[in-house]
Chains A and B, each alone.
Chain A
Amino acid sequence: MKTVYVDNNATTKVAPDVLEVMLPYFSEYYGNPSSMHFFGGQVQKKVDEARAKVADFLGAEPSEIVFTSCGTESDNAAILGTLDSYTERRHLISTRVEHPAIGNVATYLGRKGYRVTELSVDREGRLDLDELRESLTDETALVSIMYANNETGVLFPIEEIGEIVKARGIPFHTDAIQAAGKIPLNMKKSKLDMLSVSGHKLHAPKGIGVLYIRKGTKFSPFMIGGHQEKGRRGGTENVPYIIGLGKACELAKKHLDEENTRVKALRDYLEAKLLEKIPNTLVNGDRVHRLPNTVSVSFEFVEGESILLLLSDLGICASSGSACTSGSLEPSHVLRAMGVPFTAAHGSIRFSLSIYNTKEEMDYIIEHLPPIIQRLRDISPFWKDYLKSQGKA
């Protein structure tokens, strides 16, 4: 069976070039970069090169790059490492639509006695910057707001937010895990103090992440251990993965233009055709300020897990914000925060593309999805009720 992989916000294929540069570090070059001998030293040199590539990709200095084990660790380290440096400040600001790597840390801190402000979003998934302005206090230790939403692709105006937050001298972090590789990032021109990146969202393997920490930012290590990463993250460097991430960032920089032209055109084509061919379909989130690769669509009166399994039966891999897919009973917190009605929230499907997708694959989805939705609507008691209410049946 043909596999059409359009779930790149979940994880991505490791680029063949990335895998290739990693392999020698599993076998020949197994030295510890911290060692004094030549055998470790040659590895140290390659880690430095990789760090420089990651820094170049983010418009940062190599010394501002801290390698972590994953995006979740980067997010945890950013929040907990900042709060630990500002123990007198007991207030954290975030949003209602963050990834659990931020959202559940905020909940945890709330239980620990911190005051947590979760900014709301409107029907299009956008923030109200006045709400942010009003939330900032002298007690605020950190503002952490995601760059791009993983479910809808909606982009927050991070630089505008940065102006507001930094005017008050408050540390500012963003989870840029979905944004990195899809939109240009330049820390030299940014107001951000910290930024999280995950390797496996940009064609590096799972198990490697980055926390960018601007020079001069107060930060206490989250992973306490050796002197590695200039004392900001203990633990022997995950050398093969760091080398792989360096290559992945080099490629991501090169492919940024393609993401915003060819991939965006494929996404727009898929979105337009699905809206055209399937009645009672709506796009979730701001369609203008959005990642080029993501579309979240809701098909009214049907349920997401059923759609996914029928798609999966045809080799199409997507994801859903429906309740049933997550094992929870409520639809995604993102769609609920946006106020997407229940008729649509349970039937949401996210397609997230990458540079490996083709027009033929979009046509395959466009051909097979409409009959799947029709089939499930024929089983759904609400579809006929709806048609009747519209005088169509």
Chain B
Amino acid sequence: MWDYTEKVKDHFLNPRNVGEIENPDGAGEVGSLACGDALRLTFKLDEKKRIKDVKFKTFGCASAIASSSALTEIIKGKTLDEAAKITNQDIANYLGGLPEEKMHCSVMGREALDAAIANYRGQKVTKEDFEVICNCFGVTDREIIKAVRENDLKTVEQVTYYTKAGGGCGQCHPKIEAIIEKVRKEMEKGAPPPKPEKKKLTNIQKIKLIEETLGREIIPALKADGGDLDLIDIEGNKVLVALRGKCSFCPSSEFTLKQYVESKLREFVSDDIEVEEVRP
């Protein structure tokens, strides 16, 4: 049995602020049914731009529910700038600590908050270039880098506890190790991570590259989860796709599309790619 604190038990048995706000000012969703936990966060601001009301819905274990509940209590009454400073460690501390294996629950809370704030500010969540490192749980390098920095992580096992990355087939362990090494070096120097450069493409090159990237990077990963994707059309920077298989009814398909497909295409093709889903 997990060694949960009384506060975790309390927030699990009596979760605060459960629900969904109609017409929220900001909404964020992270995780998926496949991953075993997911959190949908919605908030409304008052006239002073403070978080007036916040609600959550969570699918997951006791610590996931407790972390979500704690998050809503922490950010209520805060401005978005104040809320944006909340770390996963703040959530864990609020609960009197979480078992280390369960720290990813607190990270999920923080990520949902990031997503909801970005949503309010009209920012694309996929502003930075990032790469999915762990295909089993769809964890990107950005999330791993952030967790390593904020929690001073040193081992692959710790990264798994905090982000889930590497908790499935284990194939990404060398990549995670490389990220840890790189980030820790940067932390010592205090330098921000460099961004990859991309060259200008002709239209034909771009279309070819999009097709190649879909075939090589994206479709195999979706198929591994029972999903699939068809390229319908390319209009300038807009890539129109249709999700097939499991993806077509997956509640996190929107997330998959933006967080995964779009970010991959941005990484390999061009920074200004936008992916849109064509519904059948």
Task: Choose among B2, B15, B33, B57 the residue that contacts A343 (Cβ–Cβ < 8 A).
Answer: B33
Q: A309-B12, A328-B167 are in contact. Are A381 and B61 (CB under 8 A)?
A: no
Is A303's CB under 8 angstroms from B34's CB?
no
Q: Chain A contacts of B33 at CB under 8 A? A: 301, 342-343, 346, 382
| Residue A237 at the chain B interface, CB threshold 8 Å | no
Is B62's CB under 8 angstroms from A382's CB?
no
Is A303's CB under 8 angstroms from B59's CB?
yes
Is A322's CB under 8 angstroms from B61's CB?
yes
The CA-CA distance from A342 to B251 in the complex, in Å, is 12
| Residue B215 at the chain A interface, CB threshold 8 Å | no
Binary A-proximity of B21-40 (CB < 8 A = 1, otherwise 0): 00000000100011011111
Chain B interface size band reads 20 to 34
Is A302's CB under 8 angstroms from B36's CB?
no
Q: A329-B36, A330-B167, A331-B36 are in contact. Are A379 and B61 (CB under 8 A)?
A: no
Q: A306-B60, A306-B61, A331-B36 are in contact. Are A382 and B251 (CB under 8 A)?
A: yes
Is A381's CB under 8 angstroms from B29's CB?
yes
Is B59's CB under 8 angstroms from A330's CB?
no
| Residue B187 at the chain A interface, CB threshold 8 Å | no
| Residue A313 at the chain B interface, CB threshold 8 Å | yes
Task: Choose among B39, B57, B160, B251 the residue that contacts A329 (Cβ–Cβ < 8 A).
Answer: B160
Binary A-proximity of B8-22 (CB < 8 A = 1, otherwise 0): 000011010010100
The CA-CA distance from A306 to B63 in the complex, in Å, is 9
Which A residues between 317 and 332 are near B, CB-CB below 8 angstroms? Answer: 322-325, 327-331
Q: Chain B contacts of A380 at CB under 8 A? A: 57-59
Q: Chain A contacts of B71 at CB under 8 A? A: none
Is B58's CB under 8 angstroms from A323's CB?
no
Q: Chain B contacts of A304 at CB under 8 A? A: 61
**Min distance, Cβ A99 to any Cβ of chain B, angstroms:** 21
| Residue A250 at the chain B interface, CB threshold 8 Å | no
Q: Chain A contacts of B65 at CB under 8 A? A: 306, 379
| Residue A389 at the chain B interface, CB threshold 8 Å | yes
Please name the 8 residue pairs, one residue from A and one from B, whose CB atoms are nearest each other, closest first.
A329-B167, A324-B61, A305-B61, A381-B57, A381-B40, A380-B59, A342-B34, A323-B36
- On B, residues with C-beta under 8 Å from A are 2, 12-13, 15, 18, 20, 29, 33-34, 36-40, 57-65, 101-102, 136-137, 160, 164, 167-168, 249, 251
13 contacts between A and B (CB under 8 A): A303-B61, A303-B64, A309-B12, A310-B13, A324-B36, A324-B63, A329-B164, A342-B36, A379-B18, A380-B58, A381-B29, A381-B38, A381-B251
- On A, residues with C-beta under 8 Å from B are 301-306, 309-310, 313, 322-325, 327-331, 342-343, 346, 378-382, 384-385, 389
